[in-house]
C-alpha cells in the first residue's frame, strides 16, 4: 500500500510531465571496484576506529589534507581537474529523518487554515476553488485512496478533527500559481509564483508541472557553474547580481523565509548554478539545491530510484534534486522538490569522524588498479548508509566523504562514498545525458 501511495503521489505531482527512469546495470562496474567488502559496524568496532579524530580537527585539516592528496599522487586517481568543498561545521550526527507522508500534528481543520495562510504568503492569493487535497480517508474511494479532490466539495472532511489529509495542492493555472504542501512539513516544497510566464520565456508547461530545468533548452543556457561565484555581474529582471550574491541570499535570507522555524537547523545549499538568457539584455539564475543540516549538506538526489551498484543518468540525478529559479535580484519565482523532513528522536550526535586523508586512501584502495579515474569533486555530505534502501518511514543518514570520479574506460561517472563514521564503502555509477 505504501508503495502504491508513493507512486500515486508522484503521479499527481507531475501530471502530464515526463518522469525519468533508471537502468540497473551493476554487471558493468565490477571491474571498477576491488572485491574486498567493507565492514558496516560502528566506528568504535571498525578497523578504522584508530583513524577517527575529533570534529574540529577533521574540519580544520580537511583543505590541507586535500592538497596533500593532490601532491602525494595516487596510481589510479588524477587530481588535475578536481574541486573540493571544504566542510565547516561544529556538530555532526547520525541523522534520522521521518519521511512518511502521514501527518504528524495538525488536524484537517488546522492544516486547511495553515495552507490558506501559506497560499497568501507565497503566492499572494488564496482562491478556495483552487485548493485540492489528498487524504487517507477510507470513504473517498473503493481503494481507500483518492487523488486531488477539491476541498470545497469535501467541506466536512476539511473541517474535521481528523489528521488524515496529508497533501494540499493549490492549482490556479489561469493565474499561473501553484503550490504543493505535505502537511507534516513546516514549509511547502513546490511553489510557482508565476512571474516566469510574464517574461516571454517560452514554456509548454503550466504552473502545475513547471520546474526550472524545463526552461533551459541549450540555446537559453549561457553556462553551467558548480562553484559559488565566477566573478561576473549579471543583469536580472530587477537589478544586477553576481552568482555569489544570489547564492548567499538563497542559503541565508530565503532559507529563513521558506523554512521558517526549521531554519534553526535546515538551510538551502546550492550545488550547481545555471545562467539562462531571458533576452539579449536580461538573464536569470537556475539553481540545483539541497538542504543542509547544521552546516552539512544532505544527499541532493535521495530517491528510491537510486540503484546501489547500478546506473542512473545525469539528467535523472538532477531531476531528483531541488531546483530554484531566481528571475530578479532576491526574487525566487519557482522552487521545487525541496522537502524538509522532520528529524526523529533517534538522531545521535557523533564526536569523531574519519578524516579526509584516510577516506581518500579507502576510496583509492577500492578503485581497480590499471585504470586512472579523474576526480571531479569531493565533499562531505549526509547520505544513506546503503544507497539501495528506499526512503520510506524512518531513514537514517550518516556523514559520508563523497568522491565523484570519471572513468575514461567506459565514459561513466562513479560516486564513491566512504562512511565518515565507520569507513564503509558504497558506490553507484551514472552516465551523462
pLDDT of residue 53: 94
DSSP letter at 247 equals H
What confidence tens digit (pLDDT) does each residue in 102-142 have? 888 899 999 999 999 999 999 999 999 999 998 887 776 54
pLDDT of residue 226: 55
pLDDT of residue 270: 87
Pairwise CA distance, residues 390 & 42, whole Å: 21
User: Chain-centre distance of CA 109, in angstroms?
Assistant: 30
Residues 336 and 215 sit within 8 Å (Cβ to Cβ) = no
Q: Which of 28-37, 99-108, 282-291 has the lowest mean pLDDT?
A: 28-37
pLDDT averaged over the chain? 79
Q: Which of 78-82, 143-147, 407-411 has the lowest mean pLDDT?
A: 143-147
Residue 395 belongs to what H/E stretch?
strand 394-407
| Backbone torsions φ then ψ of 287, nearest 5 degrees | -120, 140
pLDDT of residue 390: 57
Q: Does 25 score more than 50 pLDDT?
A: no
Top mean-pLDDT range of 9-13, 224-228, 289-293: 289-293
Q: What is the mean pLDDT of residues 271-298?
A: 88
Q: Does 39 score more than 50 pLDDT?
A: no
Pick from 340, 335, 119: which is nearest to 211 by CA?
335
What DSSP line would sit under 46-92, residue for residue? STTGGG-EEHHHHHHHHHHHHHHHHHH-BTTEE-TT-EE-----S-E
pLDDT of residue 309: 36
pLDDT of residue 2: 39
Top mean-pLDDT range of 21-25, 122-126, 272-276, 328-332: 122-126
Using the structure block, give the residue that is written with the C-alpha cell 577516506: 359
Strands (E), 183-262: 190-192, 221-225, 233-236, 239-242
**78 bridge partner residues:** 374
Q: Which of 263-267, 278-282, 305-309, 376-380 has the lowest mean pLDDT?
A: 305-309
Q: Which three cell numbers stand for residue 79?
A: 587530481
- 317/353: higher pLDDT: 353
Q: Does 419 score more than 90 pLDDT?
A: yes
pLDDT of residue 200: 75
Q: Which residues contact 276 (CB under 8 A, 6 or more apart)?
A: 215, 216, 220, 221, 222, 283, 284, 285, 286
Q: Which of 31-35, 202-206, 264-268, 399-403 has the lowest mean pLDDT?
A: 31-35
Pairwise CA distance, residues 387 & 383, whole Å: 8
pLDDT of residue 15: 37
pTM over 0.85: no
What confidence tens digit (pLDDT) does each residue in 378-398 have? 999 998 866 555 556 788 899
What confidence tens digit (pLDDT) does each residue in 44-82 have? 456 787 889 999 999 999 999 999 999 988 999 999 888
- What is the total residue count of the chain? 433
Using the structure block, give the residue that is written with the C-alpha cell 586523508: 357
Q: Does 294 score more than 80 pLDDT?
A: yes
What confidence tens digit (pLDDT) does each residue in 296-333 have? 999 865 443 333 333 444 444 445 678 899 999 998 99
pLDDT of residue 345: 93
Q: Which three cell numbers stand for residue 290?
A: 539541497
| CA dihedral of residues 121, 124, 129, 135 (deg, nearest 10) | -30
Confidence class of residue 192 from pLDDT cuts 50, 70 and 90?
Answer: very high
Amino acid at each position: 500500500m505504501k508503495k502504491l501511495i508513493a507512486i500515486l503521489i508522484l503521479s499527481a505531482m507531475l501530471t502530464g510531465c515526463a518522469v525519468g527512469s533508471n537502468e540497473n546495470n551493476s554487471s558493468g562496474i565490477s571491474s571498477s571496484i576491488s572485491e574486498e567488502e567493507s565492514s558496516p559496524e560502528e566506528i568504535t568496532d571498525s578497523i578504522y576506529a584508530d583513524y577517527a579524530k575529533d570534529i574540529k580537527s577533521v574540519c580544520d585539516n580537511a583543505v590541507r589534507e586535500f592538497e596533500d592528496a593532490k601532491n602525494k599522487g595516487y596510481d589510479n586517481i588524477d587530481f588535475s581537474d578536481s574541486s573540493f568543498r571544504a566542510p565547516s561545521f561544529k556538530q555532526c550526527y547520525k541523522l534520522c529523518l521521518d519521511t512518511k507522508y502521514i501527518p504528524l500534528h495538525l488536524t484537517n481543520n488546522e492544516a486547511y487554515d495553515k495552507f490558506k495562510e501559506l497560499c497568501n504568503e507565497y503566492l499572494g492569493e488564496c482562491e478556495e476553488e483552487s485548493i485540492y487535497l489528498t487524504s487517507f480517508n477510507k470513504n473517498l474511494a473503493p481503494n481507500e485512496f483518492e487523488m486531488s479532490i477539491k476541498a470545497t466539495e469535501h467541506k466536512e472532511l476539511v473541517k474535521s478533527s481528523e489528521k488524515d489529509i496529508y497533501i494540499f495542492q493549490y492549482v490556479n493555472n489561469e493565474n499561473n500559481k501553484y503550490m504543493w504542501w505535505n502537511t507534516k512539513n513546516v514549509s511547502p516544497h513546490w511553489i510557482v509564483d508565476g512571474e516566469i510566464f510574464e517574461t516571454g520565456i517560452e514554456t509548454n508547461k503550466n504552473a502545475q508541472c513547471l520546474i526550472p530545468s524545463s526552461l533551459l533548452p541549450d540555446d537559453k543556457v549561457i553556462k553551467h557553474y558548480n562553484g559559488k561565484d565566477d566573478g561576473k555581474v549579471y543583469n536580472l529582471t530587477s537589478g544586477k547580481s553576481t552568482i555569489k550574491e544570489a547564492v548567499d541570499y538563497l542559503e541565508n535570507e530565503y532559507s529563513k523565509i521558506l523554512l521558517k522555524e526549521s531554519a534553526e537547523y535546515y538551510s538551502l545549499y546550492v550545488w550547481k548554478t545555471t545562467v539562462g538568457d531571458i533576452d539579449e539584455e536580461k538573464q536569470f539564475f537556475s539553481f540545483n539545491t539541497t538542504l543542509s543540516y547544521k552546516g552539512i549538506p544532505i544527499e541532493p538526489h535521495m530517491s528510491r530510484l537510486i540503484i546501489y551498484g547500478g546506473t542512473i543518468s545525469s539528467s535523472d540525478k538532477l531531476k531528483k534534486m531541488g531546483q530554484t529559479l531566481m528571475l530578479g535580484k532576491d526574487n525566487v519565482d519557482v522552487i521545487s522538490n525541496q522537502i524538509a523532513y522532520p528529524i526523529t528522536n533517534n538522531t545521535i550526535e557523533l564526536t569523531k569522524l574519519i578524516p579526509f586523508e584516510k577516506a581518500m586512501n579507502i576510496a583509492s584502495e577500492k578503485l581497480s588498479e590499471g585504470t586512472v579515474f579523474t576526480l571531479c569533486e569531493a565533499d562531505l555530505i549526509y547520505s544513506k548508509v546503503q544507497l539501495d534502501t528506499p526512503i520510506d518511514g524512518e531513514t537514517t543518514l550518516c556523514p559520508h566523504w563523497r568522491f565523484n570520479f570519471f572513468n575514461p574506460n567506459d565514459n561513466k561517472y562513479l560516486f564513491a562514498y566512504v562512511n565518515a563514521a565507520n569507513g564503509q564503502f558504497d558506490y553507484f555509477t551514472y552516465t551523462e545525458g
